[in-house]
Amino acid sequence: MMQSEKVKRALDAVEDACGHCAVCSPDCPIAISKRALTGLLYDLRQMEASGSECECS
């Protein structure tokens, strides 16, 4: 499984955990996780599209 697929699954799990509050605080752990995973997913997809290999593993 590609890294982006794993991150997408994690992002889906975080989305499922979200209570969809009327007022979402930037300090909310769910909101923080969603922002971080969304950014990581974007970076991974850009890397995969360019054909680059991650040197972090």
User: For residue range 37-51, what is the model confidence (pLDDT) as tens digits?
Assistant: 999 999 999 999 998
Distance CA 52, CA 5 (A): 16
Terminal Cα-to-Cα distance of the chain (whole angstroms): 14
Distance CA 3, CA 24 (A): 29
Distance CA 25, CA 17 (A): 15
Query: In this prediction, what percent of the chain has a pLDDT beyond 90?
Result: 65
Residue 5: the pLDDT is: 94
Average pLDDT over residues 7-21: 93
Distance CA 30, CA 53 (A): 29
pTM value is 0.79
**Contact present, 3 and 52 (Cβ < 8 Å):** no
